[in-house]
Amino acid sequence: MLDTVFFYFFALLTVGGGVLTITRRNAIHSAVSLIVSLIGVAGLFLLQQAEFLFAVQIVLYVGGIMVLFLFVIMLVNLDESARVRQFNKQWWLALACVAAVTGELLFFVSKGTGGFRLAETTAAAAGKVGNTERIADVLFSQYLLPFELASVLLLAAVIGSVFVARKKV
């Protein structure tokens, strides 16, 4: 019962924030709406007993990526772009394509509805070890190579973005 209420609350935050993000004229307003949307997603993670991802979502997305976005918005002068036309010329074609793909996805999801009862988490699996410990077990055994590769990716991304954004001397 309470689960249902919280699901619809967080779903409203997520979708409402998303819609505001892509419709606002001022980029700062968009960024704040995106923060609302990301917090909604974090709440959905918590509802699904993914506590570690909830913390990661708040710390990394809301704390990290959004601060990066706000810094860039302040750095780049967006006053002029707020005054001009906001949507490009092919918006009707884009909307038609998105509507087609969305209809298709919803059709296939609804076709498979019968097999989608939410699995009851068994007390043994949920009670004994915490979510973080279970993730760590899998991450550092089965997915060790992708984990190490992710660090290489992050290093490359950091060096690349500093190199691209540097001032020419």
In the region spanning residues 111 to 140, those forming contacts with other proteins, defined by CB under 8 A, are 113, 116-119, 121-122, 125, 131, 134-135, 137-139
Q: Which of 9, 63, 74, 105 binds other proteins (CB under 8 A)?
A: 105
Report the Cα 11 to chain-centroid distance in Å.
13
**Span 73-92, contacts to other proteins by CB under 8 A:** 73, 75-78, 81, 84-91
C-alpha 32/C-alpha 70 separation (Å) is 9
- Residue 9 in the binding site for other proteins (CB under 8 A): no
Reduced to 3 states (helix: H, G, I; strand: E, B; else coil), residue 118 is coil
- Residue 144 in the binding site for other proteins (CB under 8 A): no
- Residue 67 in the binding site for other proteins (CB under 8 A): no
- Residue 62 in the binding site for other proteins (CB under 8 A): no
Instruction: Provide the token pair at 103.
Output: 């209809």
Q: Which of 9, 74, 143, 148 binds other proteins (CB under 8 A)?
A: 143
C-beta separation of 21 from 37 below 8 A:
yes
Q: How far is the CB of 26 from other proteins (least distance, A)?
A: 10
* Residues near 3 by beta carbon (within 8 Å), at least 6 away in sequence: 47
C-beta separation of 35 from 62 below 8 A:
yes
- Residue 100 in the binding site for other proteins (CB under 8 A): no
Q: How far is the CB of 95 from other proteins (least distance, A)?
A: 7
C-alpha 114/C-alpha 1 separation (Å) is 22
C-beta separation of 45 from 53 below 8 A:
yes
Q: Which of 9, 74, 148, 160 binds other proteins (CB under 8 A)?
A: 160
Number of residues counted as binding other proteins (CB under 8 A): 90
